Structure 1
Amino acid sequence: MNTTDNLTHNLTGDPTFFWRLIAVTVLIALTTGFILVVIRLLLEHRIKNRIIEKGLPEETAKAILGSGESALKTSLLKWFLVFAGIACGLFLVAALHPNQVTSLAIIACSIAGSFGICYLLKKRK
């Protein structure tokens, strides 16, 4: 049995393989996101320290750093929409019982729709 036959067998014969694949993918995405957030926070902290050391006026420091609050709200809205899209996609998959490739397409389109809505909301602001 070659690799292609093994993958096809796993996709069609083992119902837990699909969910394990999704779980691993989500775990990798969350870990990568966490690492990127930590790196961003460290770099922002270094920039703030350098601005303080240079003794720049408060107005200039605020212009460089920004408030950060609007970015946080935008990020929260984006993640809410992404998880809502995943939930809608999983609901459609559970309701329609399509084959596995179609299920992935439904979930991908739901997530893409979520990002599309987020983009339209950002563009409107």
Structure 2
Amino acid sequence: MKKLFICLFPLLAQGATAEQISNEQNFQVETLLPVLLIGILFYFLISLIKFALEYRLKNKMIEKGLTEHLSHNLFASNNKKDDAIKAAILLSGIGLGLLLSYFTAPLHIHSLAIMAFSIAGSYWAYFLYLKRSN
């Protein structure tokens, strides 16, 4: 409900009619809902496959003689600091790419190239961070 209000707030602030709001809402639902559903489906499938493969690998490691505690420690990702820094670097790169795309209007194929290079640069910066921290 909050997201709907946030999406409709600019229209309400401009004094939009009910018909304009309805058209805007239908456009957003028609475009975002399929993308959201496909994204959730892929996330679910990837999570399910990851869970199954990790389970099989843990069982094989236990069969070979590793303790369950050691196999659990191999798969545990407790490094929240690196996850937060990765998210910060990636979002900063996306923001920089969007900013550069905005200033180089009109939005065409070069905007996609700018975004691709900015995201790649973000991952490269994260790689360098991990390289220095180890």
TM-score (structure 1 length as normaliser): 0.53
Higher relative contact order (CA 8 A, sep 6+): 1
Q: 1:114 pairs with 89, 100, 122, which one? A: 122
Q: List gaps (5 residues or longer) in structure 1.
A: 1-19
3-state SS of 2:54 partner? helix
What does residue range 1-125 of structure 1 map to in structure 2 within 5 Å?
32=42, 34-52=44-62, 54=63, 56=65, 58=67, 62=70, 66-70=74-78, 74=82, 77-124=85-132, 125=134
**What's the C-alpha RMSD, in Å, of the aligned pairs?**
3.9
Q: List gaps (5 residues or longer) in structure 2.
A: 1-30
Contact in 1 for aligned 2:61/2:71 (Cα 8 Å): no
The total of aligned residue pairs comes to: 102
Contact in 2 for aligned 1:86/1:111 (Cα 8 Å): yes
Query: What is the rounded CA distance, in whole Å, between the counterparts of 2:109 and 2:101 in structure 1?
Result: 11
TM-score (structure 2 length as normaliser): 0.51
Deviations 1:1-49 (A, max 9, x none): xxxxxxxxxxxxxxxxxxx7xx95x986775455333312221123334
> Percent sequence identity over matched residues?
32
